[in-house]
Structure 1
């Protein structure tokens, strides 16, 4: 008889453990009971007992930014960022005595304070550590006139011309350009060949001549 009691006690305990493995108490803890009609409940950090998941505390709840404004960003390492006075963004807290951003070092961008230093998030047409270097397009001087210039993501061939007659090259005045395959920043790929270029309508004939 005692053996049956122990057996059913073990089965009951295992069943209850399975319940806690399958329920969602959120940020709280699953508490088992001996009541078959209420086999468990969730105990929240606030002290409340509920059958619903306990809410997670916002990373901004304890005001980690001090004088700044806290913004919850789950993808960041601490789950938040601080918008500090002086248009400064910090990943930890606002502290004017150690922040490298309070001198506004980012000339054409926003300064973001990291754990040990800062970095600049530059405006679209600027680059460099302090956003002081202007990005100059290879097409800015209109080298393809009267055709259309396409910026390329290629250090050796920075641009390619699409000329009025449908030919590609580095100029619309001459077609003696080196053979290369380059990727356009517009995500279009083109093959530049020398010494001949194919009209798109007659591309098949170029491969069989």
Structure 2
């Protein structure tokens, strides 16, 4: 009997089915022909049979009808490599070229630089990206805590701040105002360097760590910067008006006085 899938043709004493739709066979054209035999999916692809056709189901690294075309993962996934890594496409895959301090397939793993660090015994190593720091115990200094701290002996004058050079291990004294020298033990003579710090003709007198100003008559203040107001004590009598001058004053008297 004829159907949409086949046509019956007399064949001697029986009917022979002629399949009208390609891809089927069988007595009644009921069997879908497996098109996968004889067709090869490359690079690990899996053949999926269809009706008079087939498709290759490819692994993620491949594409195309027969899984022969390489997938450029670097173009499809621009952020595949993390932390500044560079993506390099390969046939059938990709590789991330990581910057210093990072590792792993996608450069997401921070390399533990403390694993190979040479911090001295007793110090603490703190890992950073592509580097490390050594936290030194008391009395030690230097990049690897391998030097004795020169500041332990308090070489700087009291009131100074002592720093140890991590490269050379030498101490450096940051002196307070008024002192100079390697250990801040020398008084700075403020009166002999630069212009006179005392104003209005005042005499500079050097002292230990500082200076004082001996002011001329009529001026006062640490630097003789203030004009003394001789009229402040109201020296003029009988309603006279006081005029302040440098080091003196003048009274302007009322008439009849």
Q: Specify the TM-score bucket, using the shorter chain as the normaliser.
A: 0.3 to 0.5
| TM-score using structure 2 length | 0.31
| TM-score, normalising length: structure 1 | 0.36
Greater strand content: 2
